Amino acid sequence: MNKNALIFVGLFVFLLILIVFSMSWGRFSIPVIEVIHTLLLQNANETQHAIIFNLRLPRIFAAILVGGALAIAGVTYQGIFRNPLVSPDILGVSNGACVGAAIAILLGTNIFGIQVFAFLGGLCAVMLTMNLPRLIKRDSTIILVLSGIIVSGFMLSTLGLIKYLANPETQLADIVYWQLGSLTKANFHHLIMLSPIIISTALLLYLLRWRINVLSLGDREARLIGANIRMERHIMVINATLLTSAAVCLSGTIGWLGLIIPHLSRLFIGDNNLNSLPLAAMIGAIFLLIIDTLARNLYIQEIPLGILTGFIGAPFFAWVLIKQNTLK
């Protein structure tokens, strides 16, 4: 078994252990052996059964899906834009999706309507970010990042206006929930609605990951290979945006994950997206499951995920940058 396979197997085993531990640890602690018996339907304790299957298991599945989705979206964006600094957050996709979800909440739509509006908001944000460098006729890494900051700032201002207009008794709490990020409302109904979108778009990007390698070579080299750059880039942007929007619908906005996990994956396994994309999905799932488990246990009240990812993600990303500079 080669090194890459060992890393995947090791992380998968760690994820399984983490799942069991996450089901055990909480306000109502359940011994690990009782968790295993409950999963095997050999536990007659109805309280433990209800806590595991109705509360903790949906959150665990949601954390795995959202963490993996944001990591895959981050790898895709960084690859097709040939820019290690871009992510769903930097490009404005997350904030755009959050604005779309907030508009849907104001209109009183169901979860499907929120998904549609979140996708449209995220797509609008990334298209604005992609076209701003063309308007000023300067196509470079720093200009793309600055364009993302501009669009993100505009989306945050729009979100602030929506929060001001929202009904504080019925709508404001839901919008704040989307903005700060949480898996409190994750349940099997939402998972059934959103997991097919997340899994199908993630699977498509997984199958196209070798084309991400092609696009990351640069426009001239990609054309020589025979790639239809415009079409392939748009297909990947749409799928990565849909993936991010579905994740936002499930968890709200969670920063840093789509930026730092692709870097960590490349540190482990190299720049080849054939390997780094699936590894990033695994690491992203593990990372968010750890964050969510800490969020519901560190304090009396549940801590929003966006706060914890910010405290952990910022210094971690600084370490990644220092590590990469040291290796050069």
| Fold annotation for 3-327 | ABC transporter involved in vitamin B12 uptake, BtuC (1.10.3470)
Write out residues in the chain with pLDDT < 50, as ranges: none
pLDDT of residue 44: 78
- What confidence tens digit (pLDDT) does each residue in 150-204 have? 999 999 999 999 999 999 888 888 888 878 899 988 899 889 988 999 999 999 9
pLDDT, averaged across the chain: 88
Angle at 190 between CA 265 and CA 108, to 5 degrees: 120
Give the pLDDT of residue 185: 84
Domain range list for the chain: 3-327
Does the CA dihedral 156-158-162-165 come out positive or negative? positive
pLDDT of residue 313: 81
Q: What does the pLDDT read at residue 221?
A: 81
pLDDT of 219: 74
pLDDT of residue 132: 86
Q: Cβ distance 220 to 226 under 8 Å?
A: no
**pTM exceeding 0.85:** yes
pLDDT for res 180: 87
Q: What is the per-residue pLDDT for 139? A: 67
DSSP tally for the chain: helices H, then strands E: 15, 0
